[in-house]
Amino acid sequence: DTGVSQDPRHKITKRGQNVTFRCDPISEHNRLYWYRQTLGQGPEFLTYFQNEAQLEKSRLLSDRFSAERPKGSFSTLEIQRTEQGDSAMYLCASSFRLANEQFFGPGTRLTVL
Amino acid sequence: GNSVTQMEGPVTLSEEAFLTINCTYTATGYPSLFWYVQYPGEGLQLLLKATKADDKGSNKGFEATYRKETTSFHLEKGSVQVSDSAVYFCALSEIAQGAQKLVFGQGTRLTINP
């Protein structure tokens, strides 16, 4: 069990550029979550996958955000035309089908200049 | 909607002091409650949980009791150590499309001085 991994750990980009983050969940976990954490706040739910199906999206997830989980394994979160307000820590978590606990990755810190 | 309110930080204590971090929640139904901890440079880790009223979660000397009557889940530890310095998050779960979506408080930064 290597835990949830995220790549990259840090990303600095200029306003208007597109960025993509990757999350690799724990191998047997079929549920995957994305959260966003801004400075001094707790994480906020963005979206959720069960296997390859995206079953829920928060209203926080504007049209510039898209997430995928092809083949129910790793997931990607893409932000198009980044804005300074997108600067945050993006967290990924995974859980096993019937389990209660979500295991979090170390996060990707995005800075939009 | 559901929400979690935590005691504001930062909290600074001396080693071996008693710790309480207050957490109250607003929820429909009976959610599960959690405390997560975030050490510097690391991801969130589950510290303890409780799934129904009057349950007590415990781990690493930390405890919290699910109090339905006061809608609270306060975190306590009898004697803190320098290594407990971290940010602590209280959270509840919402059921959505068969999954447990977490709703977090704003976090409480704890610093323990030797």
Q: Please judge whether B101 and A50 are an interchain contact, meaning their C-beta atoms are less than 8 angstroms apart.
A: no
Rounded distance between C-alpha atoms, residue A12 and residue A19, angstroms: 9
The chain B residue lying nearest A57, using CA atoms, is: B96
CA angle B110, B113, B114 (to 5 degrees): 145
Is B31 an 8 Å CB contact of chain A? no
Q: Please judge whether B49 and A101 are an interchain contact, meaning their C-beta atoms are less than 8 angstroms apart.
A: yes
Residues in A touching B103 (Cβ below 8 Å): 45
| Averaged pLDDT for residues B87-109 | 88
**So what's the pLDDT on residue B80?**
97
Is B104 an 8 Å CB contact of chain A? yes
The distance of A42 to chain B (nearest Cα, Å) reads 4
Q: By the 8 A CB rule, do A63 and A69 touch? A: no
**So what's the pLDDT on residue B41?**
81
Residues in B touching A31 (Cβ below 8 Å): 99
Express each pLDDT in A4-45 by its tens digit. 999 999 999 999 999 999 999 999 898 999 999 998 899 999
Q: Please judge whether B89 and A43 are an interchain contact, meaning their C-beta atoms are less than 8 angstroms apart.
A: yes
**So what's the pLDDT on residue A72?**
85
Is B89 an 8 Å CB contact of chain A? yes
The chain B residue lying nearest A98, using CA atoms, is: B99
Average pLDDT, chain B: 93
| Averaged pLDDT for residues B85-108 | 88
**Pairs from A27-30 (Cβ < 8 Å, separation ≥ 24):** A27/A1, A28/A96, A29/A94, A29/A95, A29/A96, A29/A103, A30/A72, A30/A96, A30/A97
Express each pLDDT in A56-98 by its tens digit. 888 888 899 999 999 889 999 999 999 999 999 999 999 987 5
Nearest to B32 among A42, A91, A100 (CB): A100
